[in-house]
Amino acid sequence: MPALISPTVELQASFLRAMAEHRAEGRGLPSDESNVGMYLRVYGATWDDKAEFARFVGDLLAQESADAPRPALFVPTTSVWWVEGDEYLGRLGIRHRLAPGRVGERNGHIGYDVRPSARRQGHATAMLAAALPIAASLGLSRVLITCDDDNVASRRTIERNGGVLHDQLDEKLRFWLPTS
């Protein structure tokens, strides 16, 4: 049964296969503003090396700390991976607070990705459900989650977890979800 775990170097091979799947569907281009896109651009050229992959995992884990260096408009974030055995299935980031201004309004508290070969199997819905208690433990009684207005699968994932449509900001649908 899949579970959320902290990122670990033990899943390097599976993680890299998943990132190759994302790259094959066009992720990682400069226009890809997602976490996966950023991972591919910043780390993708070097993370085949065990030490560089360990640095990537360390960087993810360090972002939980309020004192960690981070780009402007980034906030402390808990990263978790959705895995089954030694197979990486997806990632989820829980922002401890909304980023300032329009960035936070568009990105919300939680973002997630499921690797292409694991989609349409209920992983996103289960992964989001498993993340809500983590968000609650961070002091978030409710979370804002957004998706593109044409992303029907993500909208269903959010609604299946109790998300209530709040409004639309540009192409982003914005939902509030209780964490308990």
pLDDT at 86: 96
pLDDT at 106: 85
- pTM value? 0.94
170: which residues sit within 8 A by CB, 6+ positions away? 106
pLDDT at 36: 95
Q: What is the pLDDT of residues 30-68, one digit of tens each?
A: 999 889 999 999 999 999 999 999 999 999 999 999 999
pLDDT at 12: 98
Please choose, from the candidates 85, 87, 81, 93, the residue with its C-alpha nearest in 3D space to the C-alpha of residue 34.
Answer: 93
Q: Which two tokens stand for residue 23?
A: 């790259």
Whole-number Å distance between alpha carbons of 45 and 134: 32
| Topology of the domain comprising 3-141 | Aminopeptidase (3.40.630)
What residues does each domain of the chain span?
A: 3-141
Residue-level pLDDT, tens digit, the chain, 180 residues: 999 999 999 999 999 999 999 999 999 999 998 899 999 999 999 999 999 999 999 999 999 999 998 888 889 999 999 999 999 999 999 999 998 888 878 889 999 999 999 999 999 999 999 999 999 999 999 999 999 999 999 999 999 999 999 999 999 999 999 998
For the beta carbon of residue 170, count every other beta carbon within 10 angstroms.
Answer: 9
Whole-number Å distance between alpha carbons of 159 and 129: 11
Q: Which two tokens stand for residue 71?
A: 């780009």
